[in-house]
Each structure stands twice: as C-alpha cells, then as structure tokens.
Structure 1
Amino acid sequence: MPVGPGPVEYTVQPQPAAGSCHYRKAADGQPLPDTTCTPGAVNPKVTSANLASTICKSGYTQSIRPNQSITGPEKKANIKSYDFTGDPSDAEYDHLISLELGGDPNDARNLWVEPPSPGHKAGEGVNNPKDGIESKLHSLICNGKVALSDAQSAIATDWTVALATVGHPDGK
C-alpha cells in the first residue's frame, strides 16, 4: 500500500494527466477508481499502535482534513484526469481510503472524483454509499474486530465488497 506524507502543511497537489484515468465498475455497477491513478495511500501517522489517539479519537479526521482552498482546485484538475463529464456538484472528491480508516489526507494517489452511483438523478448532489461502508469499517477497527491494514486494503481494492473481504456479516 502506498504511504503518503500524512498531515503536513497542505499545498495543491498535481493530478494525473487529463484523460489518463479510467473509471472501473464493481459487480453491482458502483464506480471504482483507476487502480493506477488512485491506488489509495495511507497516512504514516496512523498505526495500529496509536488508534486511540488518531482515527478512534473524536474530531481527529476534521483536524487533518485539507481546506477546500486546497481540495477545490484539485477536484477541478481530477475531473479532467478522469474525463468526468457530469455535473461536478454530483461528484465527490473522495478519499479512496477515508481519513477515518487512516487514509492520507492529501496524497493524489488517495483522492478521486467519485461519480454518482447508478440510478442517481443529475443535479441531486452527491450520493455516496461508500460512506456507510467506511463508517462500519471504522467501528470494526476501533472495536478491535478488524486490523487497520486489512480494512485499508479491502476499501482500496473494492469498496463495494470491503465488508465481506474483512469477514463482516453485513458484507454478505
């Protein structure tokens, strides 16, 4: 798993070249990122030994989230990287490995313009069922039921089957 720089003084990160990234689809049609452009990247400051003071501590993710003045220009560039042609307000500039799972906050390898899910109506804003999966994985990590690295690997590989990959019953 690539390791990012972690929380630092953020600057706008260069994105992959325009048109160089290609969405994939999960078995259920949900969007997945290009594995070359967006393989995921972990935050080196989050380890299995410090979960209580990092991702399992209330307010942690907000304390390391880059400001919109950084992510806004990155999203615009990443839209070009992925040739996203929909309404930008319907797409989320999303951490593949979320901050609550120890993902790197601003490594371009961990961020992608996630298009809306199948069946989404244009103009209705972001709909991201991936968030619910991330929340469940976060709880499993913080409750000691899933190893941090296992959850990170599962979400980066295919978020739609991540719960099943770590052996959680909600994953079916």
Structure 2
Amino acid sequence: MIRISGFIALASLFFSTTIIADDIPDLAKTPGVSRPGFTKTKVCSIKWGKDERHVTPGMKRQVFANYGYSGYTDPQCTADAHDKTCEIDHLISRELAGADDVNNLWPQAYGGTPWNAHLKDRLENRLNKEVCAGRLSLKTAQQMLVNDWRKAFIKYFGEP
C-alpha cells in the first residue's frame, strides 16, 4: 500500500502542470551552446535587441527539419492572439550569452500551451537582470534554461 501511495503522490506531482513535449527542447537535438569568451561584464554591457543576430534562414530551416516541423505554419506552431505562431528560440538566451548556433536553437510556439515563447522571453529578461545585479551567476542562469526553463519560471513568477 505504501508503494501505491508513493506512486500516486509522485504521479500527482508530475502531472500537476500540463506539459507538452515541445515546451522544452529535445536536449539530444538542442543541447544548448554559449558564446565563447562572454562574461557577466560583457553580457551586462550589451543593449539586447540592438545587437546583431546571426541566425540565417538556412539555420531556421534546419532547426524546423530537426524537429520534424514543416515551418512556421506547421500545426505544432500554435498561434497566439496576434497570430504569431513559432519562433526559432535560443535555449540559452542571447541575453545570457547563448550562441547563434543550430545546437542552441529549437522551434517554440507562441500560443497553445501555457508554456510558450512569451513566458520564456519573460524569464530570459528576468534572468539577465538577476545576473547583472549579481544575484545569480551567468553559468547558473544558463543551466536554469537548459535544465528545464519552466522550473525557473515557476521559481520567479509562479505557475502560469
């Protein structure tokens, strides 16, 4: 009986939040890559959004293909209220020294699941602020994204 109760408790913990497989990347396809030589000082001195991106259309096609998506109109790219479907997202965000590399990119939907690109973007901004304020190391923030960004989101913002 104890085993069954333990199993039920574990199962209820596991299923307490609805999770869809593409809420997080497949780490075999997207292990996460950071930019060499980037330190906290460099990360905190860049005006993110104003810097250059180096993700080419060919890289985006490759990422979609790696995940079996046909592109931005794939049914797995669920649209949000503004008809944005998917983004090719950085697992380790650019604000935390994530590389523009196919091994750091995955397709993430804007709509559908509560665990969408909008929430991850919000977390990325928060983690950048935590790093720049000295409350979190750059390496720890990167690992929070790689090890399941949803857990970090819950830590800082609660359940979506």
TM-score in same-fold range (> 0.5): yes
Q: Determine the structure 1 residue equivalent to 2:133.
A: 143
How do 1:6-17 and structure 2 match up within 5 A? none
Structure 1 residues 151 and 171, CA gap change in structure 2 (3 angstroms)? farther
Which is greater in Rg? 2
Task: Extract unaligned runs of 5+ from structure 2.
Answer: 1-16, 75-83
Q: What do residues 9-38 of structure 1 show as CA deviations (whole Å, max 9, x unaligned)?
A: xxxxxxxxxxxxxxxxxx442511111110
Query: What is the number of equivalent residue pairs in this alignment?
Result: 130
Larger helix share, 1 or 2: 2
Q: Does 1:161 align with 2:155?
A: no
The reply to whether residue 56 of structure 1 matches residue 50 of structure 2 is: no
1:94 counterpart SS class: strand
Tell me the distance in 2 between the aligned counterparts of 1:144 and 1:171.
22
Q: How far did residue 40 of structure 1 move?
A: 0.5
| Cα distance in 1 between the residues matched to 2:85 and 2:112 | 12
Shift in alpha-carbon separation, 1:127–1:34, aligned structure 2, 3 A: closer
SS at match of 2:51: helix
Whether 1:95 aligns to 2:117 is no
Partner secondary structure for residue 134 of structure 1: helix
Structure 2: which amino acid aligns with 1:110? N
Q: Deviations over 1:74-102 (max 9, x none)?
A: 11222111112561661101111011011
* CA RMSD across the alignment: 2.6
Partner of 1:152: helix, strand, or coil? helix
Deviation at 1:138, TM superposition (A): 0.5
Which consecutive unaligned segments of at least 5 residues does structure 1 have? 1-26, 121-125
Counterparts of 1:32 and 1:148 in 2: how far apart (Å)? Answer: 20
